[in-house]
C-alpha cells in the first residue's frame, strides 16, 4: 500500500502545464496569464475632462464666487471622441464634455453646477484649483509600465486592464478540459424513480463542480453501465475533448472490476491501495493515443470527494500553470475528541471558524459509513496523520481549508 505523499508525487510526475495559447480577451477569462504585460501607451492616452463643464485658465477666474461671478466668452465645444478644434486663450473658455480631451491652454475644468450653463458667454461662480476636473495622460498607467505578471488568473478586472492598454488578445494557459464519468448498474439519475437496490448518482455532480472550482472546464457525461464495450466506446468518444478524465466507480465489486479491466486495455493505469481514509482504493494512469491522464476515484461519495481534493485538484492546478498546487493548511484547536485508525491518513470533514483570534475546528463525522450527507456546511478537512489514533478535545490539528468556504 502506497502512502498519500507517494501517490500524489506519482500523479504530478507526468503532468505539465498545458501549452500556452494566444486567444481573444473574452476567451481568456479564468485562464492563467502566460506572459508579462507591459503597457504600450499611457492610460488615459490624453488629458481628459472628468466632468461636464468649462475649460479655463486659473488667472481668468481667480476670486470668482456666487456673489462675484466672472463672465467669459465661450469659444466652442469639445466633444468625446474628437480632437479639440479650439484652444483656451487668456480671457476665454470652452465647453467640454466628460471624457473629452481638454483643449490646449486648459489649466482646470469647472463643473456645470458652478456656472449658469451659458453657451456664448458663461458666468463662472467658483475658482477651481489647478488640475481640477482633469485626468491627466498616464494618471492610471504610464507607457512601459508593467501591468500584469505571468501566473495571474484572469478575471473581469484583468481583462478590462488589458483592453485599456490596447490589448485585444492574451497569451494564456488554457483551462484544462476535464471529462467526468460514473459507472454502475445500481445508479440512477436524480429525478428518476429509483428501484429496489438503486441509488441516486451523486459523485459526477460533485466531481464536476470540484473541477470547475479548481479552474477547469468540466463536462459531466453521466452514468455508464457495467458493460465493457459501452464503457470503452464512451471513454474513447470523450478523449477528443479531454485533457483529463475522471471516473468514479459504482459501489459493487463487479463495477470496479469492469472499470479496471477496460482501462488497463486502453491505457497504462495502476490500481491499488493508498494509506488514507476515506479513499483507500485509487487508480491513476494514462489512456488513449495522446496519453491523457486519468483518475479512477472510489465509488463511495466521501471517498471520491476527498480523493479529488488530495490528488486531482493539484493536477488541474499544475495543468493551469499555477505555482500553488495545494489547499492552504492551518493549525486549529479541535473542539471534540476524535478517534482515528492507525496507519492511515484520516481526512475528516469539519467546520473551521475563528474564535478569539485563533482557528477552531469542529469535526462533522457522522455515524455509520462515511458519506456526503450532512456535510453541506463544511469548509475544511481535518488531516489526522498516520501515526495518530486519537485526538483529544482541545488538541491542535492540521486543517485543509476548502477555498472560498471560510467566512
| CATH number, domain containing residue 163 | 3.90.105.10
Domain identity same for 84 and 94: yes
The reported pLDDT for the residue numbered 255 is 59
Residue 142 forms part of a structural domain:
no
C-alpha grid cell for residue 282? 485509487
Q: Judging by DSSP bridges, how do beta strands 199-200 and 187-188 pair with one another?
A: parallel
Residue 407 forms part of a structural domain:
no
Angle at 247 between CA 246 and CA 252, to 5 degrees: 160
For residue 113, give the DSSP letter.
Answer: G
Query: pLDDT-based confidence at 202, cuts 50/70/90?
Result: confident
pTM > 0.85: yes or no: no
Q: What percent of the chain has pLDDT over 90?
A: 72
Residue 104 forms part of a structural domain:
yes
The reported pLDDT for the residue numbered 105 is 97
Domain identity same for 210 and 245: yes
C-alpha grid cell for residue 168? 485585444
Q: Which residue has the higher pLDDT, 252 or 343?
A: 343
Query: pLDDT-based confidence at 223, cuts 50/70/90?
Result: confident
Domain identity same for 102 and 167: no
The reported pLDDT for the residue numbered 374 is 56
Residue 141 forms part of a structural domain:
no
Write out the DSSP string of 137-206.
Answer: TTSSB-TT-EEE-TTPBP-HHHHHHHHHTT-SEEEEEPPPEEEEEEE-TTEE-TTS---TT-EE--HHHH
- Determine the Cα–Cα distance for residues 95 and 91; give it in Å rounded to an integer: 14
Domain identity same for 183 and 269: yes
Q: Which residues span the domain enclosing 345?
A: 329-401
Domain identity same for 250 and 358: no
Stated as kind and residue range, the H or E segment containing 393 is: none
C-alpha grid cell for residue 42? 499611457
Q: What mean pLDDT is reported for the chain?
A: 90
Amino acid at each position: 500500500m502506497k502512502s498519500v505523499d507517494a501517490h500524489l508525487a506519482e500523479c504530478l510526475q507526468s503532468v505539465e502545464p498545458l501549452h500556452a495559447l494566444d486567444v481573444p480577451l473574452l476567451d481568456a477569462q479564468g485562464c492563467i496569464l502566460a506572459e508579462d504585460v507591459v503597457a504600450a501607451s499611457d492610460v488615459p492616452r490624453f488629458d481628459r475632462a472628468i466632468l461636464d463643464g468649462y475649460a479655463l485658465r486659473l488667472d481668468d477666474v481667480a476670486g470668482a464666487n456666487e456673489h462675484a461671478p466672472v463672465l467669459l466668452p465661450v469659444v466652442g465645444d469639445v466633444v468625446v471622441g474628437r480632437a479639440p478644434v479650439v484652444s483656451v486663450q487668456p480671457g476665454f473658455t470652452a465647453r467640454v464634455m466628460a471624457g473629452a480631451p481638454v483643449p490646449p491652454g486648459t489649466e482646470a475644468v469647472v463643473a456645470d453646477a458652478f456656472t449658469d450653463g451659458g453657451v456664448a458667454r458663461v458666468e463662472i461662480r467658483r475658482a477651481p484649483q489647478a488640475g481640477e476636473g482633469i485626468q491627466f495622460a498616464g494618471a492610471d498607467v504610464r507607457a512601459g509600465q508593467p501591468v500584469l505578471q505571468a501566473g495571474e488568473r484572469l478575471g473581469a478586472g484583468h481583462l478590462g486592464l488589458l483592453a485599456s492598454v490596447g490589448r485585444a488578445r492574451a497569451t494564456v494557459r488554457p483551462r484544462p478540459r476535464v471529462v467526468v464519468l460514473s459507472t454502475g448498474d445500481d445508479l440512477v439519475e436524480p429525478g428518476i424513480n429509483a428501484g429496489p437496490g438503486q441509488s441516486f448518482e451523486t459523485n459526477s455532480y460533485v466531481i464536476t463542480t470540484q473541477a470547475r472550482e479548481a479552474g477547469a472546464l468540466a463536462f459531466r457525461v453521466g452514468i455508464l453501465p457495467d458493460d465493457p464495450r459501452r464503457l470503452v466506446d464512451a471513454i474513447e468518444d470523450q478523449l477528443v475533448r479531454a485533457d483529463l478524465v475522471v471516473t468514479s466507480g459504482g459501489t459493487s465489486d463487479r463495477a470496479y472490476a469492469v472499470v479496471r479491466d477496460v482501462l488497463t486495455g486502453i491505457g497504462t493505469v495502476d490500481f491499488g491501495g493508498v494509506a488514507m481514509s476515506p479513499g483507500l482504493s485509487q487508480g491513476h494512469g494514462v489512456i488513449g493515443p495522446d496519453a491523457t491522464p486519468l483518475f479512477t476515484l472510489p465509488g463511495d461519495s466521501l471517498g471520491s470527494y476527498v480523493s479529488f481534493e488530495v490528488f486531482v485538484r493539484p493536477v488541474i492546478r499544475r495543468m493551469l500553470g499555477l505555482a500553488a498546487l495545494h489547499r492552504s493548511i492551518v493549525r486549529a484547536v479541535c473542539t471534540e475528541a476524535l478517534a482515528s485508525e492507525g496507519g492511515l491518513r484520516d481526512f475528516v470533514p469539519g467546520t473551521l471558524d475563528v474564535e478569539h483570534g485563533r482557528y477552531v475546528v469542529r469535526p462533522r463525522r457522522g455515524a455509520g459509513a462515511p458519506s456526503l450527507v450532512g456535510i453541506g456546511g463544511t469548509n475544511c478537512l481535518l488531516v489526522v496523520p498516520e501515526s495518530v489514533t486519537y485526538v483529544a478535545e482541545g488538541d491542535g490539528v492540521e486543517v485543509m481549508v476548502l477555498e472560498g468556504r471560510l467566512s
